[in-house]
Amino acid sequence: MTAPPNIAKLRVAYQGEPGAFSQTAARQLLGDDAATIPFRSFEEMFQSVAAGDADCCVTPIENSLAGSIHRNYDLLLSSGLAILGETYLRIVHNLIAPPGTTLGDVRRVYSHPVALAQCGRFLRQHPEMEPEPMHDTAGAVRAVMERKQSGEAAIASEAAANIYGGVILATNVEDDPQNFTRFFLLAPPSASIRPLTEPSAQRWKTSLLLEIANTPGSLYRALGVFATANIDLSKIESRPIPGKPREYAFYLDVIGNVADAAIAQAIEQLRADADSVTVLGSYATSW
Amino acid sequence: MTAPPNIAKLRVAYQGEPGAFSQTAARQLLGDDAATIPFRSFEEMFQSVAAGDADCCVTPIENSLAGSIHRNYDLLLSSGLAILGETYLRIVHNLIAPPGTTLGDVRRVYSHPVALAQCGRFLRQHPEMEPEPMHDTAGAVRAVMERKQSGEAAIASEAAANIYGGVILATNVEDDPQNFTRFFLLAPPSASIRPLTEPSAQRWKTSLLLEIANTPGSLYRALGVFATANIDLSKIESRPIPGKPREYAFYLDVIGNVADAAIAQAIEQLRADADSVTVLGSYATSW
């Protein structure tokens, strides 16, 4: 896909360094022609969209091992951005070193501590390799490739190996092959950005934030609205509301588009009972 | 509280180094007389209880910003251990340095990258301080105190400062004061360990894992069992089942003890409809 001339590239912000899993997710959602802009923190990434320095951003929102990232839900809520798309990325970790290094040479392995922990079995099988924490998986590859010191390697994505010219000495070094991260494409609600995942999608998902008083049966009654309309749920998660110990917020993902009459009607019914209902977005899903 | 002579100390395993938040949680649950045993990984910590090298373990299970730690739920499930208690710990981060260091001296700040990220505002206010990632918050204090190099500090708990003789240069350096972690006390179901949190607790909680076919209304019907019995829920969270894309597991916490007739009866009713219901434990709660 080539951008037509005279049309500015789509600018998509992500957290991490080039080669980060978030950058791969951004490419999966928007293609290789989008300009991906790295930010050190999630706060700065959201800020760049608010300031108009980026058109949209791609953020991890949950992981099959680590769970939902509440902090990123909070940033999404306070940003006022809408979810325009989702994608799932299998997290494959690789041992990456400068060309010429062999597996037997490696003595120090640099990566983010979460990635090092996810590769515990491989590292235990190689007690000669000392794990060394870094801020970022892709940043670890960059550092190792810049220094080119003998015995140094990094654990990161294949994309990071390609960007920095590293060689993959071992692949699938993660303990658990069921390691998936879900990413959201976020933009101002008025944006006309359409992700590549849309045309092939069979159905739509709508993400909601629901706040209700925590009395026995209150959630049951709320879910009844969807059950009677035959609307399927793909996610439900309670989250305590800071400072309101007996009230809860719920993240709900339902199958359908908010433009569908059944979904719109269910949300209207929900509003009658709930303290608040926030529609975070409707987007194509391959789920 | 002093242990009577001739009675062996309770051995409680935790992940991290001495001074880790998990060790503080263990003390909150079992008192200062319990022998806390550090392990590098959660796998090794669970293994120590299975092997009889520890009587129980204390594990973080969810955080108010980072969400549920699915990996630790998995380890709990495969371990066959039961939940005997819970406690919540407010995560307060401190800037810690060797005695004699002043705030203005600090140039490098060592900590776990998650802790560094949680203190982003403080670090942006102090651009002269370079964040340096380490495996562990308490381990960062130990390293800084061993080296005693000018300009070095660590971000960690007050407990870590006390253990290694560090001075707190700034407290509450975390961005978000609503940063709580929930910990479980886990032991073999036959263990007669009673946490200190029990006598003061007003009520009990029961944690369940529920697997049901994902058809519209299936969760609604399951929750109906609790709603009609007037049983309150304090947590619900869906989790996709690896390899079964259209089926879900749910973590459910309900208010009450499995020894209560109403709870026991509701669980029996649940079993009639669900693919499986696993009782993870009943324990005192201050919730």
Closest CA of chain B from A104, distance in Å: 24
In a domain, B6, yes or no: no
The verdict on a CB contact (< 8 Å) between B67 and A66 is yes
If asked whether residues A70 and A102 sit together in one domain, one would say no
In a domain, B277, yes or no: yes
If asked whether residues A275 and A154 sit together in one domain, one would say no
- The SS3 call for residue A52 is coil
What's the complex ipTM?
0.81
If asked whether residues B252 and B227 sit together in one domain, one would say yes
Tally of domains in chain B: 3
If asked whether residues B154 and B184 sit together in one domain, one would say no
If asked whether residues A233 and A259 sit together in one domain, one would say yes
Q: Which one of B42, B234, B237 makes the best mutation probe of the A interface by having the most chain A beta carbons within 10 Å?
A: B237
CATH number where A252 lies: 3.30.70.260
Closest CA of chain A from B190, distance in Å: 29
**pLDDT surpassing 90 at residue A103:** yes
Q: Which one of B223, B228, B244, B251 makes the best mutation probe of the A interface by having the most chain A beta carbons within 10 Å?
A: B223
Q: Do residues B128 and B134 lie in contact, with contact meaning Cβ atoms separated by under 8 Å?
A: no
If asked whether residues B102 and B69 sit together in one domain, one would say no
Span A227-247, average pLDDT: 83
Closest CA of chain B from A140, distance in Å: 11
- From chain A, the residues in CB contact with B65 under 8 A are 70-71, 74
If asked whether residues B148 and B273 sit together in one domain, one would say no
CATH number where B85 lies: 3.40.190.10
If asked whether residues B139 and B204 sit together in one domain, one would say no
Q: Which two tokens stand for residue B257?
A: 């003890």
Span B180-191, average pLDDT: 94
- The SS3 call for residue A4 is coil
- Average pLDDT of chain B, as a whole number: 91
Strands B152-156, B108-111: pairing kind: parallel
In a domain, B5, yes or no: no
pTM: 0.86
**Residue B199 pLDDT class (50, 70, 90 cuts):** confident
d(CA A222, CA B123): 43
The CA distances from residue B171 to B31, B109, B157, in Å, are: 25, 14, 9
Q: Which of B90, B113, B114 is nearest to B171 (CA)?
A: B90
In a domain, A3, yes or no: no
Domain that holds residue A80: 11-89+179-187
**pLDDT surpassing 50 at residue B3:** no
Q: What is the pLDDT of residues A18-60, one digit of tens each?
A: 999 999 999 999 999 999 999 988 999 999 999 999 999 999 9
**pLDDT surpassing 90 at residue A209:** yes
In a domain, B154, yes or no: yes
In a domain, A66, yes or no: yes
Residue A127: predicted pLDDT: 94
Q: How many CB pairs under 8 A join A and B?
A: 129
d(CA A75, CA A65): 21
Catalytic residue among B87, B181, B197, B285: B181
If asked whether residues A167 and A219 sit together in one domain, one would say no
